[in-house]
């Protein structure tokens, strides 16, 4: 089973925000790359571990770390993590506003593409499938109730 693009975005965001907290000297403990991958998976991607397996999520997290090992040097505070999350939500809101404009202009295919883009910016921010459902309802011709 492979991860969806929004799930991969969730993994990337978790690695960017938290991997550095689980690498190197942390108090009396010393953590390596594999530790960082494990603890990001277990501690911040539990819903993906429930949907897939810890092993699959751990592997995906390790791949993201290997693609950009500099994330291990980031020790973000809770406030910095929240700032990043707020920036992702703001980006999703901006894209969502463009999607709403496209919807009202009748560009339903464009609306769906923008919803997909917004979801990648902030996958867990809102229920993007509900928005897609509303657009698809508009795409489907109304049935004659007779």
CB-based contact 86:34 (threshold 8 Å): no
What is the C-alpha separation between 29 and 48, in angstroms, rounded?
A: 27
* Beta strands 24-26 and 29-31, pairing class: antiparallel
Interval 5-62: pLDDT, tens: 999 999 999 999 999 999 998 889 899 999 999 999 999 999 999 999 999 999 999 9
> Per-residue pLDDT for 107 more than 80?
yes
Q: What is the pTM of this model?
A: 0.88
> What three-state secondary structure class fits 18?
helix
> Per-residue pLDDT for 143 more than 70?
no
CB-based contact 88:35 (threshold 8 Å): no
Q: Which range, of 43-47, 86-90, 118-122, 136-140, averages the lowest pLDDT?
A: 136-140
């Amino acid at each position: 089973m492979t991860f969806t693009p929004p799930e991969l975005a969730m993994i990337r965001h978790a690695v960017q925000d938290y991997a550095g907290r689980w690498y190197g000297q942390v108090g009396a403990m010393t953590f390596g790359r594999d530790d960082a991958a494990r603890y990001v998976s277990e501690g911040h991607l539990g819903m993906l571990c429930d949907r897939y397996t810890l092993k699959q999520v751990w592997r995906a997290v390790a791949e993201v770390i290997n693609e950009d090992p500099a994330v291990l040097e980031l020790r973000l505070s809770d406030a910095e993590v929240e700032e990043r999350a707020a920036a992702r939500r703001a980006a999703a809101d901006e894209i969502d506003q463009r999607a709403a404009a496209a919807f009202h202009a009748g560009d339903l295919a464009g609306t769906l593409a923008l919803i997909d883009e917004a979801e990648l910016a902030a996958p867990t921010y809102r229920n993007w499938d509900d928005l897609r459902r509303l657009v698809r309802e508009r795409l489907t011709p109304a049935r004659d109730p007779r």
